[in-house]
Every structure is written in structure tokens, then in C-alpha cells.
Amino acid sequence: MRSFRTTLEFIAVTLLICLGVSCNKSNPVKPLCPSLKIVALSPYSSPVWHPSGQFIGFNYTPLKQIILSYDDKGCLTDVMYEFDIDSSGFWLINTNGTNMRRVLPQGLGEPDWSSDGEWIAFEAGAQIYKMWFTGTTFDTTTLTQLTFTGRNFFPSLSPDGKLVAYSNTIGDTVGVWISPTDGSGIKSYFAFGGQPDWFPDGQRLLYGAAGLWIETIDHSSKIQIYSDRINRLAEAKVSPDGRKIAFLLQTYGKGLIQLYLMNVDGSRFSQLTTEGVYEGFSWSPDSKEIVYLSYRSTDFSYKNGTLWIINIETGAKRQLTFNYPLQ
């Protein structure tokens, strides 16, 4: 998977799209509509819950309108998205859906807040950076590059803020590496795999490699809690209380990525969503909720590609962000 994406970038796949059961309801043969090499786009990406619990950050390019074109048989022939590029960037929104505001004119790749909420780590140009957050906006003068070689993605800051774990790709080799956050550029190899996430004790890392592994940073313990060589396992994140793991999984033969949950020992495996999820989600600081991006590649409605919050105990969902087309 490609780790960094702007709010306008998605992988193209061939989809068969047609409204209703057929293109010609009067014809009992019911001919098929032609296929389109196009997928729905999302204005939102990479939600990240601030440790204060008061707001959520995300990349956002406001959607002006979606224009659908049909032929005389009612088949969809083209989809055009119109975005407000001048308003694109990194935004914040209160968890009750109020006070949505832009705080940076650029998006941040796979952002991760420090545990005190004063710094954010992110990827840009296949390198990892950090930047100070003032509480209301970012101080760009504090921008510090943390990696310098290879292609680096999915930063995860340690609880004490002194280290950052990340995925490093050199050729076809993907590994988890750890660097200090002082900008020295020093790095140490940790394990084969990718998309690391720190446990709140600061002594263990969760990462993916044909499943999910938990390993201590001194390598004294390494446990595989989930094994899967068939399905597509995407990012996984430990809850702030260290008791549960949420992850994204696309099962073989099914097109939708869904959000799943399990205990840190691999027990009580359960599916949280059914509507489809795109990459990028974040735990609430109290470990009770998860913010995620609801998304279907074949859904060209304004509701698609918006942020939702789910309660992991009750399954209750509420929509956090909306798309407001021009009238």
C-alpha cells in the first residue's frame, strides 16, 4: 500500500457501475452498463484524535460539487469532482462537530500526536518530520526532519516523546526502525515489518508482518497475536489504555476494508464496521471511541468519504463531518 496520500489521491481500480438492476428496464435481456475506470474520491483523510480529547485533526479539501453524467439508458458514464483547492490543508474539529477550522495550508501524512499533545509527527516526501503545536495552531519554525535515508512512513511517537518508530523501505525490503526525535538522524533497525505503534508503557511496539506482532524494544519478548497471509491487513493501533488493538482488514474476495477490534492477546476478535472504511483511524484518549473514514469506492454521494465516530462497546456511530455541495 502506498503510505502517503493527499486528500485527492486514490488507487484506480476497474469497477462495473450501473444504476438499478439493468440499463434498459424494457428489455428483458437487461444489457450491462459499460465499466468505468474510476473510484470515488474522499475530501477527508488521516483523522487523528488529540490527547486532550477535545478535538480531532485531519486532512481536508472541501468538496464543492460532484457532477454525474449518464447516457440515455441511465448508465453512469462519467464522474467529476470539484474541490476548493485554496482551502485544502490540515484542519481541526471539536469532537461534538463544532468549530471546524483550518490550521495549516498543507496536509500531513499519517500524523501522530505526542502523548502531551505538544508535538505532531508526520510524513512528507517519504521522510519523517515533527512540528510543535501551540494548542491552537502549528509553529512551522520548529519543523524538524527526523529521517534522511530511504523511504519512511507511518511515524509513531513514543510515550515520552524521545523516540519515533516508523516504516522504512529500501528497495523491496520493509522494516521497522527507531530514531530519536532530536533531529540527529540516528536510526536503529527494530524488526522486519511495517506500520509500528507504541504501547503506552513505552517498552513494546505493535507492528505488522503477515499478521500482527508485539515485541519489546530490547527484543527480550516477541509474540505473534494474529496470523494472516491471505487477507490484506492494513494499519493497526493500540488503545491508549493498552488493552485493545484496532486494525483495518480487507478479507480475500471482498472489496471493502473494514475496521476490526481484538484484545492485545488476540482474543475477542470482532468486526466494528460494515459500510466500508478507508485507511486512517484514531483512538479517543479514553479508549472508548474510534474516529474513522467511512468510504466505498463505488459511492459517488456526498455522504461518502466523511469522518465518523464509533463507540467500541455499544457500536453506536455518529457522523462527525459532512460535505456541503454548492446549491
Kindly indicate the confidence band of residue 232, based on its pLDDT and cuts at 50, 70 and 90: confident
Q: Write out pLDDT tens, residues 6-38.
A: 333 333 333 333 333 334 444 444 558 887 888
What digits encode the pLDDT tens for the residues 94-137?
999 999 999 999 999 999 999 999 999 999 999 999 999 999 99
Number of other CB atoms surrounding residue 76 within 10 Å: 19
* CA 154/CA 236 separation, integer angstroms: 11
- Give 98's Cβ-side CA count (13 Å radius): 2
CATH superfamily of 15-319: TolB, C-terminal domain (2.120.10.30)
Asked if the model's pLDDT at residue 263 lies above 90, the reply is: yes
The backbone torsions φ and ψ at residue 85, rounded to the nearest 5 degrees and listed phi first, read -60, -35
The band of 222, judged by pLDDT with boundaries at 50, 70 and 90, is very high
Q: Give CA–CA dist 318/289, Å, rounded.
A: 11
- The enclosing H or E element of 247 equals strand 244-250
- Residue extents of the structural domains in the chain: 15-319
**SS3 at position 234:** strand
